[in-house]
């Protein structure tokens, strides 16, 4: 597999959805999306690749991996072949009132390792199956699974600390730790970046009542 130059998260919606589109569960049509992706990837092999498709209501999310030269600007035109395949080969023309254009983007973002990790995790997939799409994911499988499991438990339930341990932490230690966390939250391996950013978001939510008062 060639080394990629950039990764972009796309979220697409129908530009002018028909009444049939408004009454369709598009999760039942993921096979159409996968077929269009296979055709796209075969046509643009070594240039660009679509991975990690998911559908929520009528919004299609996917990641575009770019292997050739870095573009100054990425637009939905990168996915024209994908859209046309669905339009023409899978009869998705029935889902749009405007026959010349199927989708419009509601999001196009270049993503980091941590954001890619989050996208994979949110879709209940194993990041190790997509290791080739990370820039810095040099982890053994056993270690990665352990870290992922610990991260899940921490986010869902919070870390459990003994009360005497909490009371032994000084205000100065808390301030120093928070400063270090903010300075280094985007550094390191993807799994750790993800966990540090999740911790920062939790802290922000806790502090919000005092920030806005």
pLDDT exceeds cutoff 80 at 210: no
pLDDT higher than threshold 60 for residue 38: yes
Lowest-pLDDT range, 44-48, 94-98, 185-189? Answer: 185-189
| pLDDT(94) > 80 | yes
Q: How many domains does the chain have?
A: 2
Same-domain pairing of 57 and 145: no
Same domain, yes or no, for 156 and 106? no
| DSSP state, residue 186 | T
Task: Note whether 98 and 25 are same-domain residues.
Answer: yes
**Kind and range of the H or E element at 60?**
strand 59-66
Own/partner pairs, 140-147, CB within 8 angstroms, 24+ separation: 144/191, 147/191, 147/192, 147/195
Residues 105 and 146 in one domain: no
Contact by Cβ (8 Å): 18, 87: no
For residue 144 the two structure tokens come to: 């990665």
- Mean per-residue pLDDT, 55-64: 92
Mean pLDDT for 170-199 is: 80
Pick the range with the lowest mean pLDDT from 70-79, 121-130, 131-140.
131-140
168 and 105 fall within a common domain:
no
Residue 129 covered by a domain: no
Same domain, 21 and 84: yes
Mean pLDDT of the chain: 83
Q: Are residues 107 and 161 in the same domain?
A: no
Locate 100 and state its tokens.
């010349």
Q: CA torsion, points 134, 107, 70, 129, in degrees to nearest 10?
A: 20
Residues 199, 153 share a domain: yes
Per-residue b/e over 27-45, b at no fewer than 16 CB within 10 Å?
eebeebbeebbebbbeebe
Q: Are residues 98 and 163 in the same domain?
A: no
86 in a structural domain:
yes
Q: 43-52, 97-106, 140-149, 170-179: lowest mean pLDDT where?
A: 140-149
* Enclosing domain of residue 23: 6-111
Residue 122 falls inside a structural domain:
no
Cα Rg for the chain, rounded, in angstroms? 21
Residue 168 lies in a domain: yes
| Degrees to nearest 5, angle at CA 112 with 111 and 116 | 75
Whether 102 and 174 map to the same domain: the answer is no
114-125 pLDDT per residue, tens: 888 888 888 878
**Which of the four pLDDT bands, split at 50, 70 and 90, describes residue 158?**
very low
140: confidence class by pLDDT, cuts 50, 70, 90: very low
On whether residue 135 sits in a domain, the answer given is: no
pLDDT score of 123: 84
Say whether both 95 and 38 belong to one domain. Answer: yes
Return the higher-pLDDT residue of 104 and 170: 104
- Report the distance separating Cα 39 and Cα 23, nearest Å: 27
SS3 108: strand
Residue 156 is assigned to a structural domain of this protein: yes
80 lies in a domain?
yes
Asked if 11 and 77 sit in the same domain, the reply is: yes
Residues 63-91 have pLDDT tens digits of 999 998 877 889 999 999 999 999 999 99
Last residue of a domain, one of 94, 111, 128: 111
Compute the distance between CA of residue 74 and CA of residue 14 in angstroms, rounded to an integer. Answer: 19
Residue 192 in this model has a pLDDT that exceeds 90? no
Report the CATH number that the domain containing residue 94 is assigned in CATH: 3.30.70.1290
For range 24-52, the mean pLDDT: 96
């Amino acid at each position: 597999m060639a080394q990629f130059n950039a990764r972009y998260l796309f979220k697409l919606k129908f530009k002018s959805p028909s009444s049939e589109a408004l009454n369709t569960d598009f999760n039942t049509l993921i096979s159409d999306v996968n077929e269009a992706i296979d055709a796209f990837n075969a046509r643009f092999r070594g240039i660009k690749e679509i991975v990690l498709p998911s559908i929520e209501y009528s919004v299609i999310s996917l990641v575009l991996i770019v292997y050739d030269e870095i573009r100054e600007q990425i637009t939905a035109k990168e996915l024209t072949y994908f859209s046309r395949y669905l339009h023409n080969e899978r009869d998705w023309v029935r889902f749009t009132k405007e026959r010349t254009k199927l989708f419009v983007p509601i999001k196009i973002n270049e993503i980091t390792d941590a954001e890619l990790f989050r996208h994979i995790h949110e879709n209940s997939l194993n990041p190790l199956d997509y290791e080739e799409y990370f820039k810095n994911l040099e982890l053994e499988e056993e270690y990665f699974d352990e870290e992922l499991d610990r991260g899940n438990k921490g986010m869902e339930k919070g870390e459990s600390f003994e009360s005497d341990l909490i009371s032994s932490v000084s205000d100065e230690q808390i301030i120093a730790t928070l400063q270090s966390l903010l300075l280094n939250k985007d550094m390191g391996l993807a799994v750790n970046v993800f966990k540090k950013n999740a911790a920062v978001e939790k802290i922000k939510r806790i502090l919000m009542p005092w920030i806005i008062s």
